[in-house]
């Protein structure tokens, strides 16, 4: 008797193994594992998950390591050191000997995009088996540092590998960085407040919207053994500003932003159907890749609509179209949720309810499951694989976000075979070009489009994006020492206000209410 997978051509790419590993500081069994040890255990779990009878580790010819946060920007060094060959160190832990080793670029969309890239290479006959591995140990680093401990996590592996670079060009926002919006929280808050203004909601009402969105996520996290914060929270608890749940940047409370203090790792293994057969991977472990799409947005300060991310919508729509499916056909969804607005954008466009019975996360989301750096979506893909294996014929969609809604990659997965004979299921969308230019030099006035008040170690700092009379974008700081200006910004309603601008002695643009 011939099964459906017997008819699948040998060069069809399939996911054959996924693995996750995690630990929480102070809990039973906690070992304070390094990045590489966490990643190695996740990769070993992925190999075991395949149930291969043959030597899967020995068959891996390509291994990509996802950059850890602490090596994701120029000039940053892991505080406890790192291997001289990160992908080689991960391969060594499972006895793999890949001919191609890769250190990825920065971005939360990277692992999802690599699934598409490696699937395309498998379909073209260029490779036969690829592993994608990432890990974060930020929670352990902080815990050990607080105790004055400094273990040596460096390793002399040797050999060559392909360093794809940081890939942060699209993430550079010099004008925003110069005015204090130098991290993800204030940058996303600028977009979030633009959406709030579009909806006509005050700060408290909008925080309740975020709470309504994220409360179901906490229930998923509470049931996930790998979650960093497995606690059920109500919408009211997430929205209410307290000493423990303080404002980190308007409109965000601390509980509603990505949690980077995690010890988590995940791995994905892809192979050709022919190799999967040769290795004796049971057919019920195969998960097919129906589409992967990758898109890049224009920079935040130049977006025509500061509340929107059209590239992410285009990515999801393109993946659905290539898979021949609609959003309603997806049984399982995981939208990247470092902050609320990447999820809101998908809900707004596709008409998804916050309490959609399918759920909007498979892991519990980045504020509650944990924001495992550039590797979060590997955990989402691992969960998607588990769901569709258990629900044969069902489809899962994973949306992966990088930067400040700067890059997006979407994957659609099912046990139903996908036809890769034309090798056209990985799509790179053209970069959007519609943008608003930044002012070329100092201007005298601007109208506020969006803002945030960032609560950093030096106190509150108000950052705004506005328009000059000639239509150019202006980035600056609101002068909170001026009572009228402070009142407008602190009350959450500076939108449409005209500011007079000057340059301070540091070259920053500072605005006061006219």
Tell me the pLDDT tens digit for each residue of 182-193: 899 999 999 999
Cβ pair 8, 16 in contact under 8 A: no
Q: What is the mean pLDDT of residues 144-161?
A: 97
**Between the CA of residue 509 and those of 150, 171, 179, 445, 487, what are the distances in Å?**
42, 21, 8, 10, 19
For residue 149, give every residue at least 6 positions away whose Cβ sits within 8 Å of its Cβ, in sequence order, or none.
none
Task: Output the pLDDT for position 432.
Answer: 85
Cβ pair 346, 313 in contact under 8 A: yes
Q: Is the pLDDT of residue 463 over 80?
A: yes
CB atoms within 10 A of CB 356: 14
Q: What is the mean pLDDT of residues 55-65?
A: 98
Q: Is the pLDDT of residue 2 over 70?
A: no
In three-state secondary structure terms, 137 is strand
Q: Is the pLDDT of residue 471 over 90?
A: yes
244-283 burial code (b ≥16 CB/10 A, e <16) = ebebbbbbbbbbbbbbbbbbbbbbbbbbbbbbbbbbebee
Give the confidence band of 4 by pLDDT, cuts at 50, 70, 90.
low
Task: Output the pLDDT for position 76.
Answer: 82
Task: Output the pLDDT for position 74.
Answer: 86
**Between the CA of residue 58 and those of 134, 160, 305, what are the distances in Å?**
20, 19, 49
**Domain layout of the chain by residue ranges:** 4-171+259-428, 445-513
pLDDT tens per residue, range 223-260: 999 999 999 999 999 999 999 999 999 999 999 999 99
How much helix, strand and coil, in percent to the nearest 5, is found in the chain? 35, 25, 40
Q: What is the CATH number of domain 4-171+259-428?
A: 3.40.47.10
Residue that has been written with the tokens 């304070």 in this structure: 32
Per-position DSSP letters for 192-243, written without gaps between them: HHHHHHHHT--HHHHHHHHHHHHHHHHHHHHT-TT-SS-----HHHHHS--S
CA distance linking residue 436 with residue 345, whole number of Å: 20
Task: Output the pLDDT for position 6.
Answer: 65
Domain 445-513 top-level CATH class: mainly beta
Task: Output the pLDDT for position 1.
Answer: 34
Q: Is the pLDDT of residue 170 over 90?
A: no
CA distance linking residue 289 with residue 292, whole number of Å: 7
CA distance linking residue 497 with residue 314, whole number of Å: 33
Residue whose C-alpha is closest to residue 47's, from 27, 24, 21, 65: 21
Q: What is the mean pLDDT of residues 446-452?
A: 98
Q: Is the pLDDT of residue 490 over 80?
A: yes
Task: Output the pLDDT for position 458.
Answer: 83
**Cis peptide, bond prior to residue 251, ω within 30 of zero:** yes
Task: For the chain, give the mean pLDDT.
Answer: 96
């Amino acid at each position: 008797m011939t099964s459906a997978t017997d008819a699948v051509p040998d060069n069809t790419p399939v996911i054959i193994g996924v693995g996750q590993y995690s630990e929480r500081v102070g809990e039973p069994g906690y070992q304070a594992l390094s990045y590489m040890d966490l990643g190695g255990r996740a990769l070993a779990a992925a190999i075991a998950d395949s149930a291969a009878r043959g030597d899967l580790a020995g068959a891996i010819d390509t291994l990509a390591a996802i950059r850890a946060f602490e090596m994701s920007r120029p000039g940053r060094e892991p505080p406890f050191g790192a291997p001289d060959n990160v992908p080689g160190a991960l391969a060594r832990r499972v006895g793999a000997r890949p001919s191609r080793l890769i250190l990825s670029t920065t971005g939360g969309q990277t692992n999802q995009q690599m699934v598409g890239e490696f699937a395309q290479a498998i379909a073209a006959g260029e490779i036969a088996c690829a592993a994608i591995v990432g890990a974060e140990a930020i929670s352990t680093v902080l815990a050990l540092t607080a105790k004055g401990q400094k273990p040596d996590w460096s390793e002399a592996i040797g050999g060559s590998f392909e360093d794809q670079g940081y890939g942060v060009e699209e993430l550079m926002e010099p004008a925003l960085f110069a005015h204090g919006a130098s991290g993800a929280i204030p940058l996303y808050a600028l977009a979030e407040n633009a959406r709030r203004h579009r909806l006509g909601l005050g700060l408290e009402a909008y925080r309740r919207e975020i709470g309504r969105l994220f409360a179901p996520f906490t229930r998923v996290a509470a049931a996930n053994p790998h979650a960093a914060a497995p606690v059920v929270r109500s919408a009211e608890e997430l929205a209410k500003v307290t000493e423990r749940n303080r404002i980190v940047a308007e409109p965000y409370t601390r509980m509603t932003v990505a949690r980077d203090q995690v010890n988590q790792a995940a791995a994905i293994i892809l192979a050709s159907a022919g190799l999967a057969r040769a290795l004796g991977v049971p057919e019920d472990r195969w998960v097919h890749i129906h589409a992967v799409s990758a898109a890049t947005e224009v920079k935040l300060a130049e977006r025509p609509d500061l509340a929107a991310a059209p590239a992410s919508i285009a990515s999801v729509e393109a993946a659905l179209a290539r898979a021949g499916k609609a959003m309603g056909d997806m049984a399982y969804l995981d939208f990247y949720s470092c902050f609320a607005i990447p999820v809101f954008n998908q809900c707004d466009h596709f008409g998804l309810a916050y309490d959609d019975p399918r759920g909007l996360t498979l892991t519990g989301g980045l504020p509650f499951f944990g924001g495992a750096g550039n590797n979060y979506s590997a955990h989402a893909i691992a969960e998607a694989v588990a769901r569709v294996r258990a629900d044969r014929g069902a489809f899962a969609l994973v949306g992966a976000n990088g930067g400040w809604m700067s890059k997006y990659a979407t994957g659609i997965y099912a046990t139903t075979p996908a036809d890769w004979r034309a090798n056209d299921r990985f799509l790179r969308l053209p970069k959007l070009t519609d943008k608003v230019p930044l002012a070329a030099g100092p201007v005298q006035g601007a109208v506020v489009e969006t803002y945030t008040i960032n609560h950093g170690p030096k106190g509150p700092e108000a950052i705004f994006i506005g328009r000059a009379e000639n239509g150019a974008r202006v980035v600056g700081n609101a002068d909170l020492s001026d009572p009228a200006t402070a009142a407008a910004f602190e009350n959450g309603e500076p939108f449409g206000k005209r500011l007079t601008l000057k340059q301070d002695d540091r070259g920053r643009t500072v605005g006061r209410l006219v």
